[in-house]
Structure 1
Amino acid sequence: MNKPNRPPAGVLGIGLEAFLPPGAYTPELRRPRVSSPVDRSRVAVNDAMQSGGLVNLLDSLRHRQDWTGPWYKRGVTALKYVARSLCLAAQHQRFLALIAADPVMRAYRRRDPRLLERHMHRYVNAHWHRRDRLSYLLQHYRFAKAHLPSGLYELVYAQGHASLGSLVAKDGSLLTLCLRPPIYKGCEGELCLQLCDANEVPLYSIVFTIADEQPTLMIGCLQGPKGENARDVVRELTRNLHGMRPKQLMLSLVYTFAQRYGIERVVAISNEAHPLRRSGRPLFSDYDAFWDEQRGQRIGGGWYALPTSLTHKSEAEVPSNHRAAFRRREALRRDAEQLLVNALAQPLPTFSNSHLQASRMTFPVYGRL
């Protein structure tokens, strides 16, 4: 008698386990390999949800001050966020877990909930894919938690401000160095170094991100003052720096940061790859021209590779009638670099919000040059 023509169980997509009695142990059986992108995504989502990701994902929907508008618009924004999260389920879960496990990152998330979805929008380099953006976010905060002094890490990301100390300008006024997180809904990097006036109003800023897998410092922004009198402010600031251009000082400080952690590779964003280039908002700086001036080389992907170290003139190269100003300028630059080195080298005390203002007075003020 002929056997009925039945296809194997696997062809039906059921699996051989379906034909075994309940509780049968079959270690030799394996389910078909997941091959299609849809199947791989489904497995990744399932793994993320089973490892506590659902709790973190639901928690990331709370206190979203960055979602504005009427309730239905906020609802649409939330649905978009969830859908985008599921596209990178495993990676996004790791990022949410990093935030949930760290009190400093939880405080930062409350101050700027956009942190949770920074990688879902334009960010640092317009050529990056969402997966790249998330990878570099994870790398930066892994680096920050592991290498920044704990007090400085808390002041920057939990409190939103760390004053590194003050310098006395040519006219006797104070200039302050500050480290801050990126601006609200920022897209140019994760750590902002600023040169401020005596009232800590920013005059010049440089924003960068650290990649720790192949140690690299990535500059995403170098920005001066804005407004109608911006040129006058820069001109006056240059005079108070004994003729040193503010953006040259900021670049020197970034190199000091890189050298402190043994980071030899410094790259900078080009005009073409800047995340705001298509936003309709003007770029106030010509990045390409400045990187060319610093002997940077275009390396593709929207980046300039900057030299491993900056070169500074020696006093012998300066005309004799300008050497006094040159010495004052170089002394000011070295003092600014030392303020940053001191902040990175020594543990700083942690402060509550009520003591934050007092903490700004505990750092050194360098004497008049």
Structure 2
Amino acid sequence: MSLTVETNRDIMKHSVRRAVPRWLQFVWGHVRVWTKYHARRIVFGRIVRKLERGMSTPLLQRILSARPDIADKPIRPYLTRRLRASARADAILTHYQTIEERLSPAAVEQIHLSTVTLLQLNTERGVVTISLGAAAGFYRESEWGLTLSFDGAPTAAMGLAIVKPQHLGLVGETPCLWIGIMKGFSRDEGLDRARSATKALRGLRPKAALLLAAQEIANALRLESIYATSNEGHVFAGYQGLRKRILADYDQFWEESQGERMSRFVFRLPRTKPVRDLSTYPANKRSQIRSRQALEAEMTTALSATLRSLITPDQRLGYDTILVVSPRSVRLEI
């Protein structure tokens, strides 16, 4: 019965669209978006103003001036499913106030207004780069975009933010790292690039390499936990028109990564990648696995070096890894 009703509604919508001139549909679409935006600004005005006041330091003011859309984030679905507008604003403030405390001012500006290359691997098959920057394309899911590129072409990405467990429906107020989205790029060419990047990384998949980088970011910033969205917890999961944008199977990947389900909407991930004993692999696979594990260790060391150069001196005292610091990114020849 419900299927019949939905089908009839779709037929009526298509009929109306055919009857209305395209120019009028275009104008109406823009009027509708403009009206909804300003209505939301009025309804959530107090929350938006609270967010703007919370970002009142000179550094955060420069970011807000360059990206005024940050103040509008609480008026729309953001971060995870069923998060109230006041909690959205508090989550955004948690991110920016935490990074202002733990990253150097220059790093804060570069990451949020541009990008920072965290790692570059020069392999026989091509160049693999991992970079951290503003969450372009992940407006509702995160504040950072962590991107893996192969020979300069984006191959996989994750959306990250620093929030509190209470923003995720859990108990706790200590800042943690949140992974709100994971995606690839263009199905055909993107799949070929992902396969090439996997071969260049000795069998390490691009999304696994990004998770490795996210874990190192959490360690560098002394964040106690890493949480990630489930299929049901994605910010678009509760919206019929937006749900089709969710293409990745989050639950499966987090389970493969030794994640623990904390609720319908949230997984908790390990802060370091568990290293499986070589003896548990078939004998004919051990050489390949040993090579991949060695690469992962090299990547972790290189990521640590770059991140150490981005954090404030007092935060470095709590960072266990002792490395020679490079001013930008570390390049590995493998």
Please give the range of the TM-score, normalised by the shorter of the 2 chains: 0.7 to 0.9
Give 1:240's aligned residue: 200
Of the candidates 43, 60, 67, which is equivalent to residue 112 of structure 1? 67
Give the secondary structure class of the aligned counterpart of 1:214. coil
Give the secondary structure class of the aligned counterpart of 1:300. coil
Quick one: distance in 2 between partners of 1:70 and 1:215? 39
For residues 205-244 of structure 1, the aligned pairs below 5 Å read 205-211=157-163, 213-244=173-204
Give the Å deviation of 1:276.
Answer: 2.1
Give 1:283's aligned residue: 246
- Mapped contact 2:148–2:154 kept (Cα < 8 A): yes
Give the Å deviation of 1:308.
Answer: 4.9
The reply to whether residue 311 of structure 1 matches residue 277 of structure 2 is no
Structure 1 residues without counterparts, runs of 5 or longer: 1-67, 349-360
Of the candidates 104, 120, 145, which is equivalent to residue 166 of structure 1? 120
The reply to whether residue 254 of structure 1 matches residue 214 of structure 2 is yes
Quick one: distance in 1 between partners of 2:33 and 2:89? 25
Give the Å deviation of 1:79.
Answer: 4.4
Q: Percent identity?
A: 21
- Mapped contact 2:163–2:177 kept (Cα < 8 A): yes
Give the secondary structure class of the aligned counterpart of 2:88. helix
Give the Å deviation of 1:126.
Answer: 1.1
- 1:134 maps to a residue whose letter is A
Change (3 A) 1:133 1:72: closer
Count, aligned residues: 282
With normalisation by structure 2, the TM-score equals: 0.75
- Mapped contact 1:152–1:343 kept (Cα < 8 A): no
With normalisation by structure 1, the TM-score equals: 0.68
The reply to whether residue 191 of structure 1 matches residue 144 of structure 2 is yes
- Mapped contact 2:80–2:234 kept (Cα < 8 A): yes
Change (3 A) 1:308 1:175: closer
For residues 137-152 of structure 1, the aligned pairs below 5 Å read 137-152=92-107
Give the secondary structure class of the aligned counterpart of 1:365. strand
Quick one: distance in 2 between partners of 1:308 and 1:178? 19
Structure 2 residues without counterparts, runs of 5 or longer: 1-27, 165-172, 312-326
Of the candidates 325, 342, 345, which is equivalent to residue 288 of structure 2? 325
Q: Deviations over 1:202-255 (max 9, x none)?
A: 211121211253232211112222233333222222111111122222112211
- 1:95 maps to a residue whose letter is L
Quick one: distance in 1 between partners of 2:85 and 2:40? 14
Q: Deviations over 1:319-345 (max 9, x none)?
A: 454444333322322232233212221
Q: Deviations over 1:176-207 (max 9, x none)?
A: 111111115611111222111232x3211121
Change (3 A) 1:141 1:170: same
Of the candidates 150, 154, 179, which is equivalent to residue 202 of structure 1? 154
Bigger proportion of residues as helix: 2
Give 1:99's aligned residue: 55
Q: Deviations over 1:41-80 (max 9, x none)?
A: xxxxxxxxxxxxxxxxxxxxxxxxxxx9868964663343
Greater Rg, structure 1 or structure 2?
A: 1
- Mapped contact 1:178–1:193 kept (Cα < 8 A): yes
- 1:333 maps to a residue whose letter is E
Change (3 A) 1:282 1:144: same
Change (3 A) 1:339 1:191: farther
Give the Å deviation of 1:142.
Answer: 0.7
Quick one: distance in 2 between partners of 1:121 and 1:237? 35
Q: Deviations over 1:64-97 (max 9, x none)?
A: xxxx9868964663343133113x3xxx434202
